[in-house]
Structure 1
Amino acid sequence: MATIVVHVMPKPEILDPQGKAVGAALPRLGFDQFAEVRQGKRFELTVDGEVTDEVLAKAREAAETMLSNPVIEDVVSVAVEES
């Protein structure tokens, strides 16, 4: 079995309240090296068998049409994760 990983992030112009909350908490916990935090989503799609170009294309299509909201989110990456 193989895993295809999809990363989705809010578009830069979209407010990210979860990222802001984490960003505000980090310095209080001693992590003051970071200027900004954005929180996204990670999806893991398990594939029975080999990941062909066709399967990867279908994963990209699913990412663009179902796993993300194209109005407010960007699909950042769709890649096979090596195990």
Structure 2
Amino acid sequence: MMPLILIFVIFYFLLLRPQQKRAKEHEAMVAALKPGDEVVTNGGIYGKITRVGEDAITVEIAEKVRVRVTPASVSRKVGDEPTK
């Protein structure tokens, strides 16, 4: 029984905890997004945020070309280190 508990504890600290930490960091980054921020989406598209709503963010990817994306699809701000 003890080895099973030990395996679970190791699994938690090596896999689950870092993943939870990254998720919290991503949520904080998304909550701090504002118009003018340059971002990269999960699809690799670079753009500048023009509008932030509750359920969608408008990103300008070229002059007069804007797309609406979900906040969760923004992977990082341009200039920030990519999450590992």
Q: TM-score scaled to structure 1, two decimals? A: 0.26
Which of 1 and 2 has higher RCO (CA within 8 Å, sep 6+)? 1
Q: TM-score scaled to structure 2, two decimals? A: 0.26
Computing the radius of gyration from Cα coordinates, the structure with the larger value is 2
Q: Give the structure with the higher percent helix.
A: 2
